[in-house]
Structure 1
Amino acid sequence: MIKRRPIEVFSLSFLDCLCCGFGAILLLFILSIGSGEAGVKSEVDVPTLRTMREQLAMLEADIANKASILEAALNSEVTSEERERILSLIQEMESQLADLQQEYDSRKANLSTAQQETAEANRLLQSFEHENLPPIGLPADTTHVAFVIDTSGSMRNQLTKQLHYGVIEQIRELLDSLPEVRSIQFLDTSGNYMIGRRGIWLPDTPGLRQQALQSILSYPILSVSDPEPGVRNAIRELSPRIEANDKMSLYVIGDDFQGSTQSFLIKLDRLNPRSSSTGKRPVSISAIGFPTLISPFQLGAPQGNTRFANIMREIAEAHDGVLILKPRI
């Protein structure tokens, strides 16, 4: 017996036919809209749409106009405030300008007066006869000059190992400022004679002076940073070899003092006593200090440049000399 399949009423084919029929009915309905008087009429016609479009355009124009008016009003308010601020700044600047102009006129008048006074002073100076005098305080009548020079490492150029050229220039400048000098001599602070024989003065001629300064520049011996041996030998060995009418000056050149301060002062007072008749000492002792430290000649410093300056100030004051502290070496 043949077994048959059951029949399904709502199959896929039935659904296809149903959808096709429904689509055809829907298509006919759409095609029938607006075809003749029987069609469905639209609720909003074309004139109404045109009217609405015109009203919308007018409304947009009105809004734009009001927006521009509002923006102009805001800009006008800001501009007014800005204008007031600028006017205030202008008034303030005009006031400052007036003050500056007044100050300028005052200074210009003072400058004119100062220029007139300067011109008058120059005229008076040119009318006076003057001589080429040595610096104030130096013994201008000195005939014999001895130098005691510190040749230690701190007084030398670290690259060339020679004495700083500023030392040579200071000696040259000092000798040029003393017109009466006839004899010179040079010792280091250890008491060694740098040029010539012991206890012998050298004639101060241009050629010998230049040769002596060149020899000092390349002097190879390192001396102690204590001028006492050099000062002692210079006074003991050179002072007796000058005439009664001649005058000797001793210049100590250095940057440091490592000896005994009180002992040095007492020994110098014995070596170079004052005359009971004239009240003057046989040798005037001066000093020239060079700055070789970062903070030279600082008050209260226990050693270095300041210690040299302190002791040599007392010696120069007690022995009719001067103390010169150089700003640079």
Structure 2
Amino acid sequence: MKNREENSPFSMSFLDIMACGFGALILILLISDFSVTDEPSELDDSFSTYQNLLEQIEKKEFEFNTLIERIREEKNEFSSQSEKSEIMNKEIDEKSALLKKYVQESESLKRKLNSLQSVGRNQKKEISEAGGITISSEYLVLIVDTSPSMQGLNNKLPWRNVVRQISILIEAFPSLKGIAVMKDTGEYLIGRRGEWLPDNKIYRERIVKAISQANTVSNSNPIPGLSEALYHLADCTKDVQIFYVGDEIGQGVPNIDKAFEEIKTANSCLYGELKYKASISALGFNTGIYGANAYIDLVERNKNYLAFMRELTERFDGTLVVVPE
């Protein structure tokens, strides 16, 4: 009996040790904290950082691509601007060459103008030597006595001189806004009633030609022609000068004082700053030296004409020029 107890493997010491061990294990289990925490692990942090970096890289890559595209667009635009700049430079060069050409032409025209003005001054001098005329008006009306005494019965010598002096007179005006020409009867030699002819070389030549070919139907009466010019051409807004070209006062002219009153009424300005519609000047020809045999009293009528025109031109700010034969 005693031997059996001594040989048992589960002695009290062993059981005590096992009990203590289980108790310690239970105690450890009781004091340990196995609760689940929400704090991320280092791996989670690394993954989140990776995701953020990846997003930033994608964003930067998008920005980079956008920038590259913008650079391309600006490059294309710059190329286009360069092409435009080249075109503009070419146009500037062409316009510069054209401007240079215009300047050269302008200088040439200035020289021609100076030449014409010189000719005009010479012509003015030629006329002024016969009595003097102030040539500054913008519109010119020529009223020409085309009577037989002016044209000459046989040799036409007076008329050739008349045409020449009228041509010189027209050329003495370098630039006009309008010209009109008529007979002393009020009949227009060229153009229509009440209309100004343009001032150019062609019309000046046509005017001289029309005067040279005018017929001899005339009354040597300045009143109808002056009235036509004052009522239908001149007004109080234009700078008009009338030149009456003649040699005598015909039988149909009324009393001199009455004639002056008629012209004064026709030439008066009822509005504006001008006193008269037009200044009145005259060219006088001593045709009596050509036709004394045919017209016994022509020399005396020449004198009466000059006396009439001297008073008329003085009253209306004009000049009487007696043309030497």
TM score, norm. by length of structure 1: 0.53
In the TM superposition, 1:145-294 aligns within 5 A as 145-159=140-154, 164-240=159-235, 244=237, 246-258=238-250, 259-260=253-254, 261-273=256-268, 278=273, 280-294=275-289
More moved, 135-144 vs 184-193: 135-144
Q: Tell me which residue corresponds to 2:313.
A: 316
C-alpha offsets along residues 199-237 of structure 1, whole Å, 9 cap, x if unaligned?
A: 111112111111221121011241111110011001111
In structure 1, distance between residues paired with 2:322 and 2:303: 10
In structure 1, distance between residues paired with 2:135 and 2:277: 15
Q: CA 1:203 to 1:279, structure 2 compared with 1: closer, same or farther past 3 Å?
A: closer
Is 1:162–1:217's contact at 8 Å kept on the other side of the alignment? no
CA RMSD for the aligned pairs? 2.9
C-alpha offsets along residues 110-159 of structure 1, whole Å, 9 cap, x if unaligned?
A: xxxxxxxxxxxxxxxxxxxx976545653432111011110111011323
Structure 2 residue ranges without an equivalent (≥5): 1-116, 292-297
What letter matches 2:307 in structure 1?
N
Superposition misfits of 4+ residues, deviation over 6 angstroms: 160-163
Q: CA 1:273 to 1:283, structure 2 compared with 1: closer, same or farther past 3 Å?
A: same
In structure 1, distance between residues paired with 2:244 and 2:262: 16
TM score, norm. by length of structure 2: 0.53
C-alpha offsets along residues 53-72 of structure 1, whole Å, 9 cap, x if unaligned?
A: xxxxxxxxxxxxxxxxxxxx
Q: CA 1:327 to 1:148, structure 2 compared with 1: closer, same or farther past 3 Å?
A: same
Matched residue of 1:141: which SS? coil
Is 2:286–2:299's contact at 8 Å kept on the other side of the alignment? no
Q: Tell me which residue corresponds to 2:72.
A: none
Q: CA 1:278 to 1:139, structure 2 compared with 1: closer, same or farther past 3 Å?
A: farther
C-alpha displacement of 1:276: 8.0
In structure 1, distance between residues paired with 2:163 and 2:267: 27
What letter matches 1:213 in structure 2?
V
Q: CA 1:218 to 1:324, structure 2 compared with 1: closer, same or farther past 3 Å?
A: same
Q: CA 1:212 to 1:186, structure 2 compared with 1: closer, same or farther past 3 Å?
A: same
Q: CA 1:326 to 1:302, structure 2 compared with 1: closer, same or farther past 3 Å?
A: closer
In structure 2, distance between residues paired with 1:203 and 1:163: 29
Q: Percent identity?
A: 28
Q: CA 1:167 to 1:313, structure 2 compared with 1: closer, same or farther past 3 Å?
A: same
Compare the two structures and name the one with the higher helix fraction: 2
Q: CA 1:254 to 1:317, structure 2 compared with 1: closer, same or farther past 3 Å?
A: same
C-alpha offsets along residues 79-135 of structure 1, whole Å, 9 cap, x if unaligned?
A: xxxxxxxxxxxxxxxxxxxxxxxxxxxxxxxxxxxxxxxxxxxxxxxxxxx976545
Matched residue of 1:285: which SS? strand
In the TM superposition, 1:46-57 aligns within 5 A as none
Structure with more contact order per residue of length (Cα contacts < 8 Å, sep ≥ 6):
2
Is 1:285–1:320's contact at 8 Å kept on the other side of the alignment? yes
Q: CA 1:294 to 1:183, structure 2 compared with 1: closer, same or farther past 3 Å?
A: same
Is 1:275–1:281's contact at 8 Å kept on the other side of the alignment? no
In structure 1, distance between residues paired with 2:204 and 2:213: 15
C-alpha offsets along residues 153-179 of structure 1, whole Å, 9 cap, x if unaligned?
A: 101132366971111111111122222
Is 1:162–1:218's contact at 8 Å kept on the other side of the alignment? no
C-alpha displacement of 1:263: 1.3
